[in-house]
Structure 1
Amino acid sequence: MAEGFKIDQRHGKSRVRVARVWRPPNRSSGGAHVIVEWEVDVSLFSDCLPAYTSDDNSSIVATDSIKNTVYGKAKECTKELTMEQFAILLARHFTTYYPQVTGAIVSINEKPWERVFIDGKPHSHGFKLGSEMRTTEVTMKKCGAVNIISGLKKLSLLKTTQSGFEGFVRDKYTILPDTRERIVATEVTSSWRYKFENISQIPPVPFCFRERYNGVKKVLTDTFFGPVDVGVYSPSVQNTLYLMATAVLNRFEEIEWVHLKMPNLHFLPLNLSSKENPNMVKFADDVYLPTDEPHGTIQATISRAMSKL
């Protein structure tokens, strides 16, 4: 409270881009290089009320210092670590190093650099840009309470059959026909919360956030597609979303909830005709018009009965 007003404030630095390379200790002996490229956002909760109500900046951690801390801490990480571990490291630094900082939120997007394979063999230092992007957001308080949410963006999935949509509400505005045969395509955005509530609860190595990310992505994609020979029928994007989320919760006990956003990217059947040629293009489950605007948007959060949303 200040002068009869309530102030809820925080400050930080956004879109701090940093890349970190880990090389083998002895370059002459060979070995694989590792690179990560991160976009880091840091937001600090701090007791700096006089900076807002007067000309006293003595308690402000400058946003330029926040940016430089990201670079400095990246330099200190001589051993490979995941973006979740780096976010935890940053959040812990800001909440312990500065007495006036009571909490921190660190969000990171990781660009999808993937190792190149030449003649079936992994290249030691060659990478190509992939598609989906990894994300994380770590919220930490000075007492060590922590909230870790990881996720992914732009995971594009499509199957050319085993999908339909029928039996939906019909009214005077409905022109969409029922179908049991269509293309279903989406670009998945997902996030999931780990059950850890204090930094002391985070398991040491061999627990690895990257391995868990790869596992979640595999469960999501495997559930979407089904077995390689026959697939699995999808009566709606809603049902597929639910099955994907519950499969993750059933597979990984340390995950409390899963949020999925799955736009329905339409592939419209193409029929072309004219007076002279009424069957110029006759659709037979083969020629489509891909569209991404407008698109249906389906999203839901699936959680365990006692989880905290």
Structure 2
Amino acid sequence: MANELDGFNFEQRHGKARVRVARVWRNKSDHIHSMVEWCVSISLLSDCVNSYVRDDNSDIVATDTMKNTVYVKAKECSEQLSAENFAILLARHFTSFYKQVTTAIVKIVEKPWERVHINGQPHEHGFKLGSEKHTAEVTVQKSGVLKLTSGIEGLSVLKTTKSGFEGFIRDQYTALPETRERMLATEVTALWRYSYESASSIPKNPLYFTERYLDVKKSLANTFFGPPKEGVYSASVQSTLFQMAKAVLNRFPDISFIQLKMPNIHFLPVNISSKDNTIVKFNDDVFLPTDEPHGSIEASLSRFWSKM
């Protein structure tokens, strides 16, 4: 929050970071348990300048209070809800309950606990830890204006064929050979912005954004891999990234912007040779996996009417 003080521009915010909370819901009718584990970070823009310049803390919302609010609001959620909805709930609380708070920013990272299946049957109360994480960030102003983003961190994908890299600039420093046959691997980080501009305009289904997250993840993966038998050819990570981003915007009309970061995690062909003969000859079969250094590729795609 910006202020003019003694001829200077002064901006400040405060909050509580990495508040870890787990919530379990127990359905008494069918004995099925559901659970989430969230890491919540809160940042408040508020009128508490006096705490900085006059040693007056009377307008500060204590960060310990923010932490406790996370636990209380989680307790009050008697039915399962998405990380996005919980972030909105928290942000609306801070902007409505405290007159000093003008804007609340809440970010949640959901740990990927997945239901266990035993002999093909879903377990009533057993879970295992997955890989990629679901992220959500919401900004709510006192006026009710909403900005909502969701994302994926750590979506690792790999295909052993249907990938190449040709026709790039060659100069005296270029050693990379051209190829139409290589492994392609990356760890996708995705961030997408929804078009909803107020909390009242979001869908009423409390798990809508959880379902949308799973659908977006599926769309990204399906576009990367292609059909299960024939696959789809990738001319470059750049080309595949664009097709993945476009697939999301084409399928989901309430998403106005998407950003993808896709490092090219290399699997280098292994050839071992001595002075007299070749010990190992590469034939698209033996690779050296390495993630350092790696190619860094990122881009964003938005609709013309997006505010991004």
- Which TM-score tier does this pair reach, normalised by the shorter chain? over 0.9
Name the counterpart of 1:37: 37
Name the counterpart of 2:174: 174
Name the counterpart of 2:18: 15
Measure the CA separation in 2 of the matches of 1:269 and 1:2: 61
- Residue 258 of structure 1 aligns to a residue whose secondary structure is strand
Could you tell me the TM-score, scaled by structure 1's length? 0.97
- Residue 35 of structure 1 aligns to a residue whose secondary structure is strand
Question: Percent identity, aligned pairs only?
Answer: 63
Where does structure 1 lack aligned partners over 5 or more consecutive residues?
Answer: none
Q: Once the 2 structures are TM-superposed, how far is the Cα of residue 207 of structure 1 from its aligned partner?
A: 6.9
- Residue 229 of structure 2 aligns to a residue whose secondary structure is coil
Letter paired with 1:158: L
* Structure showing the higher strand proportion among its residues: 2
1:131 aligns with 2:131: yes
Q: Once the 2 structures are TM-superposed, how far is the Cα of residue 205 of structure 1 from its aligned partner?
A: 2.1
- Residue 144 of structure 1 aligns to a residue whose secondary structure is coil
- Residue 161 of structure 1 aligns to a residue whose secondary structure is coil
Q: Once the 2 structures are TM-superposed, how far is the Cα of residue 172 of structure 1 from its aligned partner?
A: 1.0
Show CA shifts across 1:7-53 (max 9, x none): 111000000000000011x3xx5431011000000000000011111
Q: Once the 2 structures are TM-superposed, how far is the Cα of residue 236 of structure 1 from its aligned partner?
A: 0.3
Q: Once the 2 structures are TM-superposed, how far is the Cα of residue 203 of structure 1 from its aligned partner?
A: 1.9
Measure the CA separation in 2 of the matches of 1:31 and 1:4: 63
Letter paired with 2:295: G
1:104 aligns with 2:134: no
Measure the CA separation in 2 of the matches of 1:52 and 1:206: 39
| 2:82–2:207 contact (8 Å) kept in structure 1 | no
| 2:47–2:100 contact (8 Å) kept in structure 1 | yes
- Residue 173 of structure 1 aligns to a residue whose secondary structure is coil
Show CA shifts across 1:175-214 (max 9, x none): 0011000000000000100000111211212770011011
Measure the CA separation in 1 of the matches of 2:185 and 2:11: 42
- Residue 268 of structure 2 aligns to a residue whose secondary structure is strand
Aligned pairs for 1:229-308 within 5 A: 229-276=229-276, 278-308=277-307
Q: Once the 2 structures are TM-superposed, how far is the Cα of residue 99 of structure 1 from its aligned partner?
A: 0.2
| 1:2–1:53 contact (8 Å) kept in structure 2 | no
Show CA shifts across 1:99-129 (max 9, x none): 0000000000000000000000000000000
The farther-off stretch of 29-38 and 102-111 is: 29-38
Letter paired with 1:19: A
Aligned pairs for 1:72-111 within 5 A: 72-111=72-111
Measure the CA separation in 2 of the matches of 1:19 and 1:207: 17
Measure the CA separation in 2 of the matches of 1:79 and 1:160: 43
Measure the CA separation in 2 of the matches of 1:206 and 1:148: 15
Where does structure 2 lack aligned partners over 5 or more consecutive residues?
Answer: none
Q: Once the 2 structures are TM-superposed, how far is the Cα of residue 292 of structure 1 from its aligned partner?
A: 0.2
Measure the CA separation in 2 of the matches of 1:206 and 1:69: 20
Letter paired with 1:298: I
Could you tell me the TM-score, scaled by structure 2's length? 0.97
- Residue 187 of structure 1 aligns to a residue whose secondary structure is strand
Q: Once the 2 structures are TM-superposed, how far is the Cα of residue 304 of structure 1 from its aligned partner?
A: 0.6
Name the counterpart of 1:70: 70
Show CA shifts across 1:144-184 (max 9, x none): 00000000000000000000001001111100011000000
Letter paired with 1:103: T
Name the counterpart of 2:199: 199
Letter paired with 1:275: K
Measure the CA separation in 2 of the matches of 1:51 and 1:207: 40
- Residue 210 of structure 1 aligns to a residue whose secondary structure is helix
Measure the CA separation in 1 of the matches of 2:132 and 2:207: 23
Measure the CA separation in 2 of the matches of 1:204 and 1:113: 24
Query: Aligned-residue CA RMSD in angstroms?
Result: 1.0
Q: Once the 2 structures are TM-superposed, how far is the Cα of residue 275 of structure 1 from its aligned partner?
A: 2.4
Letter paired with 2:19: V
Give every structure 1 segment of 4 or more consecutive aligned residues whose post-TM-superposition deviation is greater than 2 Å.
none
Show CA shifts across 1:72-106 (max 9, x none): 11111111111000000000000000000000000
Name the counterpart of 1:217: 217
- Residue 205 of structure 1 aligns to a residue whose secondary structure is coil
Measure the CA separation in 2 of the matches of 1:203 and 1:120: 33
Letter paired with 2:111: K
Report how many residues are paired: 305
| 2:188–2:261 contact (8 Å) kept in structure 1 | yes
Q: Once the 2 structures are TM-superposed, how far is the Cα of residue 306 of structure 1 from its aligned partner?
A: 1.4
